[in-house]
């Protein structure tokens, strides 16, 4: 089923018989059978008719609204999941300080292991680049993590590990892109722009997943409670940052899918130009539809399906007492 990315400013999304239609100035830009649409990402100033909105809600089609530069504004959501028992377990586990501590360690350990694997896989293909010292320090971070007794200390380890990892990131970019380090808001260079956009997209997808399963997305374990912050999706995407977004960013740059000329500096930061955004979404969707072998089941799943599977596993960890295991790069 299709994911639709709408970026044509001034366009309108309408429902026409058994089709979803995107039109602008009385011209049809896109039409697709409604049963083939699974999710819609809307960027910037695009209208939706009441009939289309009702259909999207009734059909359970995930519809998300972003600003022009990829920051999530909100979602069109149907009636909340009826899985109240899962939410009760989530609230109870969140009140247990030991459970919060254990889960926070698991989320960060998964992220650090995927950082380590990313560096090792790249250096194995490029023996001229030496990441050994940073890899050893990441392993030290994993050891240190087990001794921590406060979530704030765990976040400190995560911060140091991220600094070590991103210290190597620029060395994995072989084309003419400068990257001095991770800068979140606003992104100050093209590489940070790609990372921020990708992280925003996978967090939004995880938000849809956990909401659909029945979680309260605002109750997390690694990420603390903060008004309006989807803490649980942020917890669960930690293990997917390197496999999906970081590796996609490296591939887009090194294969020259995008060049520095595809970016523009505006008041809000550095962002992709309109035509370049289309290229990025094509590459992002290709990445999400990439099938990889799941070592636990020995079956092949897309990254999108694996994200759903991981959220289901986390639900089981809360309701059945199973230990949650993060997705790890092989």
Residue 115 placed within a domain? yes
Query: 41 with 17: CB under 8 angstroms?
Result: no
Tell me, yes or no, whether 248 and 272 share the same domain: yes
CATH, residue 22: 3.100.10.20
List all residues 6 or more positions away from 130 whose beta carbon is below 8 Å from its beta carbon: 123
pLDDT in tens, 246-294: 999 999 999 999 999 999 998 888 899 988 999 999 999 999 999 988 8
When pLDDT is averaged across residues 144-161 and rounded to a whole number, the result is: 94
Pair (316, 195) in one structural domain: yes
Same domain as 101, residue 42? no
CATH number at residue 218: 1.20.120.920
| Same domain membership, residue 100 and residue 42 | no
* Together in a domain, 20 and 90: no
Same-domain check for residues 126 and 253: yes
Q: Are residues 129 and 193 in the same domain?
A: yes
Residue 329 lies in a domain: no
Q: Could you say which of 17, 51, 76 is where a domain stops? A: 76
pLDDT of amino acid 1: 65
Number of structural domains the chain divides into: 2
Answer yes or no: is pLDDT of 81 > 70. no
Residue 18 tokens, joined: 């058994």
Chain-wide mean pLDDT for the chain?
A: 89
Residue 60 CA to residue 159 CA, distance in Å, equals 37
Average pLDDT on 208-217 reads: 90
Cα(289)–Cα(33) distance, integer angstroms: 20
Same domain, residue pair 139 and 94 = yes
Choose the final residue of a domain: 76, 99, 124: 76
b/e 216-238 (16+ beta carbons within 10 angstroms → b): bbbbbbbbeeeeeebbbbbbbbb
> Among the three residues 15, 48, 76, which one is the final residue of a domain in this structure?
76
- DSSP annotation of 204: H
Q: Does residue 63 sit within a domain?
A: yes
Mean pLDDT of 212-235: 91
The count of residues in the chain is 330
Domain that holds residue 26: 2-76
pLDDT category at 80 given cuts 50, 70, 90 is: low
Distance of CA 108 to the CA centre of its chain: 16
Q: What confidence score (pLDDT) does residue 176 get?
A: 78
Examine the domain organization and report whether 205 and 63 are in the same domain.
Answer: no
Residue 70 belongs to a domain: yes
Which of 22-31, 278-287, 299-308 is predicted least confidently?
22-31
pLDDT classification of 104: cutoffs 50, 70, 90: very high
Same structural domain for residues 43 and 185? no
* Lowest mean pLDDT segment, chosen from 48-62, 107-121, 183-197: 48-62
pLDDT in tens, 156-207: 999 999 999 999 998 898 877 888 888 887 888 999 999 999 999 999 999 9
| Residue 215, Ramachandran bin (φ over 0: left; ψ between -120 and 50: alpha; else beta) | beta
């Amino acid at each position: 089923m299709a994911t639709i990315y709408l970026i044509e400013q001034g366009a309108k999304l309408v429902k026409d018989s058994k089709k979803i239609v995107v039109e602008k100035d009385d011209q049809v830009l896109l039409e697709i059978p409604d049963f083939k649409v699974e999710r819609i990402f809307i960027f910037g100033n695009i209208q939706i008719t009441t009939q289309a909105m009702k259909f999207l809600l009734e059909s359970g089609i995930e519809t998300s609204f972003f600003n022009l530069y990829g920051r999530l504004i909100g979602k069109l959501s149907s009636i909340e999941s009826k899985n109240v028992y899962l939410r009760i377990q989530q609230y109870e586990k969140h009140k247990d300080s030991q459970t919060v501590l254990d889960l926070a360690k698991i989320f960060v350990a998964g992220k650090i292991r995927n950082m380590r694997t990313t560096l090792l896989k790249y250096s194995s293909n490029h023996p001229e680049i030496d990441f050994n010292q940073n890899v050893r320090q990441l392993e030290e971070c994993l050891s240190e993590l087990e001794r921590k007794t406060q979530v704030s200390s765990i976040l400190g380890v995560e911060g140091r590990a991220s600094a070590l990892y991103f210290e190597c990131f620029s060395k994995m970019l072989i084309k003419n892109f400068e990257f001095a380090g991770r800068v979140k808001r606003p992104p100050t260079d093209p590489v940070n722009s790609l990372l921020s956009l990708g992280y925003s997209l996978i967090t939004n997808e995880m938000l849809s997943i956990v909401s659909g399963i029945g979680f309260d997305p605002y109750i997390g374990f690694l990420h603390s409670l903060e008004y309006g912050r989807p803490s649980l999706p942020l917890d669960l995407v930690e293990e997917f940052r390197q496999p999906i977004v970081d590796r996609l960013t490296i591939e887009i740059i090194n294969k020259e899918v995008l060049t520095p000329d595809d970016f523009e500096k505006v008041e809000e930061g550095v962002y992709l130009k309109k035509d370049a955004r289309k290229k990025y979404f094509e590459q992002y969707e290709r990445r999400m539809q990439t099938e990889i072998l799941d070592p636990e089941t020995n079956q092949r799943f897309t990254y999108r399906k694996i994200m759903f599977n991981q959220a289901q596993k986390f639900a089981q960890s809360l309701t059945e007492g199973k230990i949650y295991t993060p997705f790890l790069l092989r």
